[in-house]
């Protein structure tokens, strides 16, 4: 299974003139990369090393993300699409090209673009995917609209589907007894996705983001896709935190699967020992 080469080994390939600079910032959940273009003479293309297996496919995930799958249909991860802004704060259009070896972002400035401008390159985040069987990918979130906290497994969730701007005073249960504050605000909510933005006091750090979506897979299945960008770096504890998060979202997907099929998780096409890690 291919993995992106970061943090640490993700590198800018094309830095062709002295007015360009590249900065890679490792994150607990991946890495953020920024490319600064100092003038219109700067090269408008930046490429980044990735390692994806032969026969991989790419499909749309949560808005603003692309999902990667192996030739066998196994989920590999997601990339947050890049963006660019000039020094006046105006968004500058960008395009993205994806190959097995590189992800290339190209900025498209106009005559009014104020230099310097900064490209925020595509970034990889922690990702989980849980199969939800075959069917319309909007159907699982229609289920959430009937009773959100019947399926979402975190204390403090409301019975109604979340709306943009809503604050949820969530509390994560640790070791079966300790409640850890996890207040969030709804960044967006759509027919098949919603986003949490962590507020002050959240254990992941204020400004952390986690996205949930029911997405169609290339093989015709649908899945619950979860990805997050975490602010606080806890060093060696990061892996443990992601494992704990995986357990929470595994339960979320299992609850939806049971609600969709009124039966056990095998109806959602989960392997017998899912997850395999």
Query: What pLDDT sits at residue 12?
Result: 37
pLDDT at 223 over 80: yes
- What are 192-201's pLDDT values in tens digits? 899 999 999 9
Query: What pLDDT sits at residue 121?
Result: 61
Give every CB contact of residue 240 below 8 A, 6+ residues apart in sequence.
Answer: none
Give every CB contact of residue 251 below 8 A, 6+ residues apart in sequence.
Answer: 153
The most confident of the ranges 74-78, 242-246, 268-272 is 242-246
- What are 3-13's pLDDT values in tens digits? 333 332 233 33
- What are 104-143's pLDDT values in tens digits? 778 888 888 888 777 766 555 667 888 888 888 899 999 9
Mean per-residue pLDDT, 263-272: 53
pTM for this prediction = 0.68
């Amino acid at each position: 299974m291919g993995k992106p080469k970061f943090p640490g080994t993700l590198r800018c390939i094309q830095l062709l003139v002295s007015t360009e600079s590249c900065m890679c910032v490792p994150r607990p959940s991946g890495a953020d990369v920024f490319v600064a273009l100092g003038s219109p003479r700067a090269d408008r293309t930046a490429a980044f090393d990735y390692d994806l297996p032969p026969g991989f496919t790419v499909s749309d995930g949560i808005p603003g993300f692309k999902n990667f799958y192996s030739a066998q249909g196994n989920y590999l991860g997601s990339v947050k699409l890049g963006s660019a802004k000039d020094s006046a704060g105006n968004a500058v259009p960008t395009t993205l090209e994806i190959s097995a070896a590189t992800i290339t972002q190209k900025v498209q400035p106009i005559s009014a673009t104020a230099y310097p401008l900064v490209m925020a390159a595509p970034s990889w985040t922690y990702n989980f995917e849980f199969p939800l069987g075959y069917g319309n990918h909007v159907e699982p979130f229609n289920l959430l609209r009937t009773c959100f906290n019947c399926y979402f497994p975190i204390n403090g969730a409301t019975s109604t589907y979340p709306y943009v701007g809503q604050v949820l005073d969530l509390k994560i249960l640790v070791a079966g007894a300790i409640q850890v504050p996890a207040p969030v605000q709804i960044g967006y909510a759509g027919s098949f996705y919603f986003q949490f933005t962590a507020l002050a006091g959240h254990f992941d750090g204020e400004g952390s983001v986690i996205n949930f979506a029911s997405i169609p897979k290339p093989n015709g299945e649908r899945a619950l896709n979860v990805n997050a960008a975490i602010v606080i770096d806890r060093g060696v504890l990061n892996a443990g935190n992601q494992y704990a998060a995986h357990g929470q979202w595994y339960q979320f997907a299992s609850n939806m699967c049971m609600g969709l099929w009124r039966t056990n998780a095998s109806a959602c096409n989960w392997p017998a020992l899912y997850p395999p890690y």
